Structure 1
Amino acid sequence: MTSQLSVSIGQCSDKGRKDINQDSYGSYTPRGSQLNHKGFAAVMADGISSSEVSQIASETAVKSFLDDYYCTSETWTVQHAAEKVLGATNSWLYSQSLQSPYHYDKDKGYVCTLSALVIKGNKAHIFHVGDTRVYRLNQKGLELLTKDHRMWVGENKSYLSRALGIDEYCEFDYHTLPVAAGDIFLLATDGVYEFIDAELINHTIAQCEGDLETAAKQIVDQAYQAGSDDNLSLQIIRVEQLAEQSSQQLKEQIDSLPFPPELSARMSLDDYSIVRQIHASSRSHVFLALDQQTGEQVILKTPSVDLRDDPDYLERFYTEEWIARRINSAYVLKASRNPRQRNYLYTVFEYIEGQTLAQWITDNPKPELAKVREVVEQIAKGLRAFHRMDMLHQDLKPDNIMIDSSGTIKIIDFGSVWAAGLAEQTQDITQQHLLGTALYSAPELFLGIGGSTRAEQFSLAVITYYMLSGRYPYGTKVAGAKSHAAQKRLRYQTVIDSDSEIPAWIDDALEKALHINPLKRYDQITEFLCDLRQPNKAFLNKARAPLVERNPVAVWQGISAILAAIVVYLLIN
């Protein structure tokens, strides 16, 4: 049985000697797969005492974090998801202050401090702004994990330098640290931590013999007795058990499903009727099938029996459909709309009636520039749908792009896709494996550098270049250049030839997107698309490089031809 993350928690909050409690806290332990994909979360917020509405700010911040964080995509990293949620919460609080009678006085607005803890995989993710605190208690003692955002202007006078709702934009501290079973985390407001010490915390938790709720209440009571004049709130979280890595869970699911039998036309498999085989390779078999429940045609994909002992291959195969279900784009292949219980290992996708871009290029060797732009812009829209979900396709090539009967582009084949949210579960947050096709892969991938959106920009630009010329920008030399020195010797070959009508500024745009150094490419794919639509003034104002730099081979061939003609002339005369 796969082990899941398990935590124990004790919580206590008291208004203390104040009239109202402006602190707020909460925690949530989801069930099932969401616990693996999103983890456990605890959050603590403290409203500022100078404001009569700050308790609304702290309650809103806690509720918004716990509600909205678990509504973000499972493909996002913890950092991406939490910062999106916190940014939205800050904007709402700030706008409420602007609409209140106190919009000129930040000390009376919707302002609070916040600290949040998310435990996912074997890591703790900490988000912090203000002067609530997060501690870790283990065999090494009590360790403070956050830094107060408080500015001291005198011996006993200070003010918050950062907090939720103070400004239109809020900068949060974020860091991660490894977690072990038995680690204890504490989230506390200043009404508690300013009046207790590590020895008291250790002693109280040990005396309560695992009853964290009682421990939290006793520590709060002790802080009150020590003279605390503020609200007092404390959460104690103990990690009882860590989840197994996602790959292990996937392996168990894969092992529970047998490989399907050898399929052929007219066979049935789990209410799918096989129509015909569309494609077969050493890695998979693809069939056109009829869903007997809905009457729709679908694509049914089965894994290669020869790779049944390759766990990495099977994991990628199994997650292809999972990925397809989490991308909503007209330019990306969709998973079947009718999921059901399966008795065999296979995946099901929508059926696209059309042809691959590779076949289209063969049928249209000299396409119009306007058509190339149209195709490339649609590919880019699909690619950006991956990027918005913290995913990289990593195998963008004409064979993995379909054009349907209406002319709409669809990116297919998710066997090489890298999803940050999944990688975070397996502690493989940076993709280091070259999974794509060499002719369309960015040079840095051959140096062992992980994939990026700039690497995907390179692949898109190679496709653009190939559609316009039928050639590759660096020939076939990129895959062989596996050192920085070798890559510096690579020379971009202009897309313009003797009978080409392609504008020079198009070539400039391609050269930039195809630069060997990823940092010298476009910052965003949209910038590349813009420069394919209209001339970039920087290119028009740029002095064209000498021919010897743009095409040294042609220059030396010309010089050699001239010298040969001179020699022949001298010999004749």
Structure 2
Amino acid sequence: MPDALQVRIGQYSDRGRKALNQDFHGACVPTGEALSRKGVALALADGISSSEVSHFASAAAVHALLQDYYCTSDAWSVRRSVQCVLAATNAWLHAQTRRSPHRFDADRGHVCTLSALVLKGATAHLFHVGDSRIYRVQGQALEQLTEDHRVVLEGGSSHLSRALGVQPQLDLDYRSVAVDAGDTFVLSTDGVHEHVRAAFMLEALRTHAGDLDEAARAIALEALRCGSDDNLTVQILCIDALAEDAGEALQRRRADLRLPPLLEPRAVLDSYQIVRELHASHRSHVYLAIDQESGEHVVLKTPAVDLQADEAALERFLLEEWIARRIHSPHVLRAVPSQRPREHLFVALEYVPGQTLAQWMTDHPRPQLAEVRDIVGQIARGLQAFHRMEMLHQDLRPENVLIDATGTVKIIDFGAVHVAGLVESQVAAHQADILGTLQYTAPEYFLGEAGTPRSDLFSLGVITYQMLTGRLPYGAQVARVQSRAQLRQLRYSSALHDESRPIPAWVDAVLERAVHPDPLKRQEAMSEFVHELHQPGAATLARTRTPLVRRNPLLFWRTLSLLLGLAVVALIGVLHARG
């Protein structure tokens, strides 16, 4: 038997009689180790005709699946990996609709159907939502492996009962089927299978067995000839050979990933030689290591020994690698691509020589405003990369920001990141479950509320304030908030109190707005906060006339005492003059 999976794929898509093709399709057949670790993936999505942006949803769904699936942890099953990818994609599509003019009309939003097949080892994993279909050739018949999510109404009209992007949470069908060499699968959109007979599909597969692209084209054109007025997309997957014992070996290797022990210098973990420990916390151990094959320095992150029996903690740990691979930004630490099989559970990240922002603040106790603006702007761009993917960092603090020798700033540590659509990342309702560092955590988390991008903005505002003043805007008060009454009692300490670190009054107003206890009263976006640090907006200028009692309480009370004293002296003089 061959050492690797061998397949052939044919694809065809056409707009048919419509002006725009709202279908999208794609396939990925990786090479080398990725083929055995992740297998072959193909997917098609079908937009809905009532939406003018549905083709964007179709393209986004297929792109996300084919890219993000291969970024998931090798320790995850195919089902777990794809469900996470599609849940995150669904949440992102739903959020785009909620931000659009059609937020209350899902039929005009970012919505599509999706059918996907991942072939790994000797198993085909099927994922489906909507009314596109997946078939398997069974002798002289086509076996439909998916169920149409469509409701037929009186009069013959119908509508989708399930689709990608309609609801915040995704209801996804999953099925796995054992496969053999010679098996053939067909994926099609409703514009095809509602008009083409199974007998014609089988005949096209036999006639064009040597050219699957032509077979897909023949099936699609037959649908057009038979009166289809919809977009037409067909994908064909033919399995020529399976790797020897692929299914059992791969599942066994995934299940046998061992939890690393505490590592000492010169120890070797899966061809990485440990140089030294960089950091240790209650969640993880971080080491500097050398890749013995490439000679490059990398950072290895392993689960903390105390958490190695905690399944929820290990699931969150595995999520970190996928997050690092999904984010593409010069201001976010990237994951090192995995090119060989692993025996242990860890995350490999790029090594960036430099210092944390916490150390930088110690070395620069009185930074120039221009330096602060530069660092904050880079952090904000990193956070925006998370927010564009419907993710929240949730643990932004000086220790989680790295500055390299060139001054480039990178956000590190993804252990608390919330990924929209994944239950495991939901913010818990109790303070004990808050994943971020308390001094920098937005107060809404302490009330059990879900975070938003403005929650990350609060953390960035606190860091900016600390860089300029050396202290926190609320001290330790935020961590003690347990009710809205306590939230309203929070009092911002003006950054203008410290005369040894003078800043413009309008900058203080920008900071006060960014760290406001009410998230709706903060800047609407990271970009607005960064812009206002350079040039105050109208909302900020309206706040710059801060009362003296808030800007400088000591001076206020001294002045008031002096005025009262003068008033008393004047009153005594008047009384004395009157005898």
Provide the rounded CA distance (Å) in 2 between the counterparts of 1:253 and 1:435: 31
Contact 1:73–1:389 at 8 Å: present in 2 too? Answer: no
Give 2:547's aligned residue.
546
**C-alpha spacing 1:550/1:321, structure 2 compared with 1 (3 Å):** same
Aligned amino acid, residue 537 of structure 2 = N
**C-alpha spacing 1:470/1:537, structure 2 compared with 1 (3 Å):** same
Give 1:244's aligned residue.
none
State the 1:174 CA deviation: 3.7
Aligned amino acid, residue 510 of structure 1 = L
TM normalised by structure 1 equals: 0.62
Give 2:310's aligned residue.
310
**C-alpha spacing 1:303/1:173, structure 2 compared with 1 (3 Å):** closer
State the 1:527 CA deviation: 0.9
Give 2:114's aligned residue.
118
**C-alpha spacing 1:180/1:497, structure 2 compared with 1 (3 Å):** same
Q: Which runs of 5+ in 2 are unaligned?
A: 1-12, 30-34, 70-84, 98-108, 117-125, 133-146, 176-187, 203-225, 233-250, 569-579
Provide the rounded CA distance (Å) in 1 between the counterparts of 2:445 and 2:40: 28
Provide the rounded CA distance (Å) in 2 between the counterparts of 1:265 and 1:350: 19
Aligned amino acid, residue 46 of structure 2 = V
**C-alpha spacing 1:45/1:118, structure 2 compared with 1 (3 Å):** closer
Give 2:488's aligned residue.
488
Contact 2:47–2:58 at 8 Å: present in 1 too? Answer: no
Provide the rounded CA distance (Å) in 1 between the counterparts of 2:40 and 2:369: 44
Give 1:511's aligned residue.
512
Give 1:145's aligned residue.
159
**C-alpha spacing 1:522/1:309, structure 2 compared with 1 (3 Å):** same
**C-alpha spacing 1:70/1:177, structure 2 compared with 1 (3 Å):** closer
Provide the rounded CA distance (Å) in 1 between the counterparts of 2:110 and 2:502: 60
Deviates more, 1:458-467 or 1:70-79: 70-79
Could you say what secondary structure the match of 1:464 adopts?
helix
Matched, 1:529 2:530: yes
**C-alpha spacing 1:372/1:330, structure 2 compared with 1 (3 Å):** same
State the 1:371 CA deviation: 1.1
Give 1:469's aligned residue.
469
Could you say what secondary structure the match of 2:326 adopts?
coil
Provide the rounded CA distance (Å) in 2 between the counterparts of 1:212 and 1:178: 33
**C-alpha spacing 1:30/1:78, structure 2 compared with 1 (3 Å):** farther
Contact 1:495–1:507 at 8 Å: present in 2 too? Answer: yes
Provide the rounded CA distance (Å) in 2 between the counterparts of 1:33 and 1:387: 33
Give 1:400's aligned residue.
400
Give identity over the alignment, percent.
39
Give 1:448's aligned residue.
448
Contact 1:125–1:174 at 8 Å: present in 2 too? Answer: no
Provide the rounded CA distance (Å) in 2 between the counterparts of 1:146 and 1:305: 48
Provide the rounded CA distance (Å) in 2 between the counterparts of 1:78 and 1:297: 33
Could you say what secondary structure the match of 2:348 adopts?
strand
Provide the rounded CA distance (Å) in 1 between the counterparts of 2:115 and 2:553: 57
Provide the rounded CA distance (Å) in 2 between the counterparts of 1:69 and 1:300: 26
State the 1:430 CA deviation: 5.1
Provide the rounded CA distance (Å) in 1 between the counterparts of 2:130 and 2:563: 68
**C-alpha spacing 1:401/1:192, structure 2 compared with 1 (3 Å):** closer
Give 1:257's aligned residue.
257
Could you say what secondary structure the match of 1:325 adopts?
helix
Provide the rounded CA distance (Å) in 1 between the counterparts of 2:193 and 2:347: 55
Provide the rounded CA distance (Å) in 1 between the counterparts of 2:301 and 2:59: 41
State the 1:119 CA deviation: 6.3
Within-5 A mapping of 1:273-422: 273-337=273-337, 339-420=339-420
Provide the rounded CA distance (Å) in 1 between the counterparts of 2:40 and 2:472: 40
Provide the rounded CA distance (Å) in 2 between the counterparts of 1:71 and 1:418: 22
Deviation sequence 1:73-109 (CA, Å, 0-9, x none): 56683347768999xxxxxxxxxxxxxxxxxxxxxxx
Within-5 A mapping of 1:141-290: 144-146=158-160, 174-175=166-167, 178=171, 231=228, 255-290=255-290
Cα RMSD after superposing both structures: 5.4
Contact 1:190–1:232 at 8 Å: present in 2 too? Answer: no
**C-alpha spacing 1:302/1:550, structure 2 compared with 1 (3 Å):** same
Deviation sequence 1:373-422 (CA, Å, 0-9, x none): 111111112212222222221110001111112222121111111223xx
Contact 2:462–2:515 at 8 Å: present in 1 too? Answer: yes
Could you say what secondary structure the match of 2:355 adopts?
strand
Contact 2:45–2:59 at 8 Å: present in 1 too? Answer: no
Contact 1:45–1:61 at 8 Å: present in 2 too? Answer: no
**C-alpha spacing 1:178/1:538, structure 2 compared with 1 (3 Å):** closer
State the 1:357 CA deviation: 0.9
State the 1:469 CA deviation: 0.7
**C-alpha spacing 1:400/1:337, structure 2 compared with 1 (3 Å):** same
Aligned amino acid, residue 43 of structure 1 = D
Give 1:459's aligned residue.
459
Aligned amino acid, residue 376 of structure 1 = V
Contact 2:111–2:165 at 8 Å: present in 1 too? Answer: no
Could you say what secondary structure the match of 1:145 adopts?
strand
Provide the rounded CA distance (Å) in 1 between the counterparts of 2:480 and 2:57: 53
**C-alpha spacing 1:143/1:514, structure 2 compared with 1 (3 Å):** farther
Provide the rounded CA distance (Å) in 1 between the counterparts of 2:551 and 2:511: 14
**C-alpha spacing 1:189/1:401, structure 2 compared with 1 (3 Å):** closer
Deviation sequence 1:140-193 (CA, Å, 0-9, x none): 99994359xxxxxxxxxxxxxxxxxxxxxxxx99447745689xxx98679989
**C-alpha spacing 1:381/1:253, structure 2 compared with 1 (3 Å):** farther
Match of 2:89 among 48, 58, 78: 78
Give 2:521's aligned residue.
520
Deviation sequence 1:298-330 (CA, Å, 0-9, x none): 222222221111112112222222222222222
Give 2:236's aligned residue.
none
Provide the rounded CA distance (Å) in 1 between the counterparts of 2:520 and 2:377: 22
Provide the rounded CA distance (Å) in 2 between the counterparts of 1:83 and 1:365: 44
Contact 2:93–2:110 at 8 Å: present in 1 too? Answer: no
Provide the rounded CA distance (Å) in 1 between the counterparts of 2:297 and 2:553: 54
Contact 2:266–2:273 at 8 Å: present in 1 too? Answer: yes
Aligned amino acid, residue 506 of structure 2 = W
TM normalised by structure 2 equals: 0.61
**C-alpha spacing 1:275/1:489, structure 2 compared with 1 (3 Å):** same
Aligned amino acid, residue 275 of structure 2 = V
Provide the rounded CA distance (Å) in 2 between the counterparts of 1:360 and 1:527: 25
Give 1:43's aligned residue.
46
Deviation sequence 1:330-371 (CA, Å, 0-9, x none): 221122256421111222222222211111111221111111
Contact 2:357–2:399 at 8 Å: present in 1 too? Answer: yes
State the 1:63 CA deviation: 9.1
